[in-house]
Copies of this chain bind each other. A is one copy, B any other.
Amino acid sequence: MGDDAALFAPRVGWETILTCDWFLEDTHFLRGKHPADAVGWKCLARAVSDIAAMGGRPRCFLLSLALPQTLTGHWLDEFLGGLRRAARKFCCSLAGGDTTRRREILINVTVVGEVRKGQAVLRSGAKPNDVIYVSGRLGEAELGFRLLRSGETLAGAKGSLLKKHLYPEPRLALGQWLAEKGLPTAVMDLSDGLSSDLPRLCTASGVGARIEKAKLPIVSTAATKRTERSDGLQLALNGGDDYELLFTVPRRNVSHIPRSFRGVPLTSIGEITRGRAIVLRDKNNREYELVVGGWDPFRGAK
């Protein structure tokens, strides 16, 4: 720190993982709705999630921050508090960065991680007949964001949904376990919603997929207003920011995948297919094309 560049001592026998993520006011968060400490936590968590998907361990990060002069007091303190908590939680230390002044809050985070040579899992290895899994329940973060916009606070019964949106916890332990055991053929994190991210995994792997609608671990909308209750499937398919893992497992390895990992459910939701079609099958065996309706950063914050 202090120099323009940071030095990092890589471990022999490990590869370095590099990832960077924008976190921009009005595109990824709202200054008036998102607490500053959640902005600090989340800008690091979402980049760390890319390390988790590869089976890696975070080592350090660079923070590029542009901020209006008026936010350099209390807002910045809170932001740094959230960032520090996340850095401790993910064992990922601040190594450097770049700061400037700007009308809007602009954040870019680069995370450097490590994975044992040969153990990194890419999104391009899925094969026909592999079973598709997801961790956690899908749509929770999106529902949390709806609650945030309607003025709910962390204290209430809906706090866990809000927390999932504001303070996501990348699935580092799960990603490392999967990579170390060599169980999956492909892994990626769910940042934009299943309907956006599954096609990316399939395109990278040159395969298609069939998802069983009945198997999807859909967010529970019981605690929410009636208008949300019928939305579970849409939230699960299209909700962004879950930062759960999506992974594919060859049938010979399926018996090694537990029902849950450290309290996080692991659910098989379908299978990889030949061809390029990505379909959703209902309980009557009718198949529908999966339409991309997930988080689209080009539309701005929803």
Contacts and interface: CB of A to CB of B under 8 A. Distances in A.
A19 interface: yes
B2 A204 contact: yes
A124 B66 contact: no
Given A100-B298, A110-B110, A298-B101, A64 B20 contact: yes
B3 A7 contact: no
A10 B10 contact: yes
Contacts of A110: 18, 20, 62, 110
A266 interface: no
Interface of A: 2-10, 12, 15-22, 24, 27, 50-51, 53-54, 56, 60, 62, 64, 66, 69, 95-98, 100-102, 106, 108, 110, 112-113, 115, 117, 120, 122-124, 188-189, 191, 204, 297-298
The 4 closest A-B pairs by CB, nearest first: A10-B10, A5-B19, A4-B50, A108-B108
A151 to B, nearest CB: 28
Contacts of A18: 5-8, 60, 62, 95-96, 110, 112
Nearest to A112: B18
27 contacts: A2-B122, A2-B124, A2-B204, A3-B54, A3-B124, A3-B188, A4-B19, A4-B53, A5-B53, A6-B19, A7-B15, A7-B17, A7-B120, A10-B16, A16-B16, A20-B97, A20-B98, A20-B108, A22-B66, A22-B106, A24-B66, A27-B66, A27-B101, A62-B110, A98-B108, A101-B298, A108-B108
Nearest to A63: B20
B27 A100 contact: yes
A115 B6 CA distance: 11
A10 B66 CA distance: 31
A5 B297 contact: no
Contacts of A112: 16, 18
A51 B6 CA distance: 9
Contacts of A4: 19, 50, 53, 123, 188-189, 191
A8 to B, nearest CB: 4
A21 B65 CA distance: 10
A101 B300 CA distance: 8
Nearest to A53: B4
A96 B112 CA distance: 13
A51 B100 contact: no
